[in-house]
Structure 1
């Protein structure tokens, strides 16, 4: 990449970071190409993007942002995971992948809005239910009382039909 291309990359990548709802910084050392490719595919499937960036270019991309000191990010190989859709899904994806691959990759930190999250906070975030799981729980919570209500109505209808049947049988016997 020549100097002009690097400048364009830094500007575009900085804009992506600003637009993302969450940005995770990970150290992917210890993973081979096959594992990194698999991780990138899983991250893409979770609605996020994984980009391996040189630390020097990353430092330039976040230089003008109003962030606390994140200099610890700029050591070792760095993969940046950007998500504009879900906050939990990428963290959960990387955590699950890490459990299967000898604790690799390792989170360095994350930026959520204007807040910097520590590794511990990212771990807690990864344990939260995903958006889809929360929606399923909400639907289940709303569905249960409705099913009970429908069951009560059906019971009353059956009771009414039984009474009408008994009444018609009684009238036939009287005639």
Structure 2
């Protein structure tokens, strides 16, 4: 009997250690309440998150909090069923969660979380979802850089026309 109890305790510790290790390289950690999502929807959510390079873990609240605290982060108390989103790119994770919730009666709901070491609430996760991802931002920036030589050439041409007109 004691061996079985010990095995369960070591299994729990393995879960905590695994989550703690993932948190070390994560930019964001979001807590979700997945109440109301059936197995098909949960599978779809996990698939979308995985495709975006985001991990989704369902774990007991006490174990999730222990993992977060062991990783040096401070977390809020959790109640009810909790799925933990662990992401290296918090904006992408927020977008996937937000888009999925829009399609599924606002489920899962976000209980809160941590982004770049700071506590965030559901409203902040929604704001993060509205920001461009790193790749989108780089694309926008590259577009601006590409337009600078063209604007310079147009300005030179306009100045040339102006100077020719004054002669």
TM-score (norm 1): 0.77
After superposition, the Cα gap between the structure-2 partners of 1:90 and 1:69, relative to the gap in structure 1 and judged at 3 Å, is: closer
TM-score (norm 2): 0.80
Q: How far apart are the structure 2 equivalents of 1:45 and 1:152?
A: 45
1:77-136: per-residue Cα shift (whole Å, max 9, x none)? 11111112x220010110011001000000111212321111111111111111121111
Summarize the alignment of residues 22-171 of structure 1 with structure 2, pairs less than 5 Å apart: 22-68=28-74, 70-71=76-77, 74-84=78-88, 86-147=89-150
Structure 1 stretches of at least 4 aligned residues deviating more than 2 Å after TM superposition: 62-69, 145-153
State the superposition RMSD in angstroms. Answer: 2.2
Report the 3-state secondary structure (helix = DSSP H, G, I; strand = E; otherwise coil) of the residue aligned with 1:107. Answer: strand
Which structure is larger by alpha-carbon Rg, 1 or 2? 1
Q: How far apart are the structure 2 equivalents of 1:128 and 1:21?
A: 15
- Please identify, of 93-102 and 121-130, the stretch whose mean Cα deviation from structure 2 is larger: 121-130
Report the 3-state secondary structure (helix = DSSP H, G, I; strand = E; otherwise coil) of the residue aligned with 1:146. Answer: helix
Q: What is the CA distance between 1:66 and its match in structure 2?
A: 4.5
* Gap runs ≥5 in structure 2: 1-6, 158-167
Tell me if the contact between 2:33 and 2:111 (Cα under 8 Å) persists in the aligned partners: yes
Q: What is the CA distance between 1:35 and its match in structure 2?
A: 0.7
Q: What is the CA distance between 1:63 and its match in structure 2?
A: 3.4
Q: How far apart are the structure 2 equivalents of 1:69 and 1:57?
A: 12
Q: Number of aligned residue pairs: give it.
A: 151
Residue matched to 1:5? 11
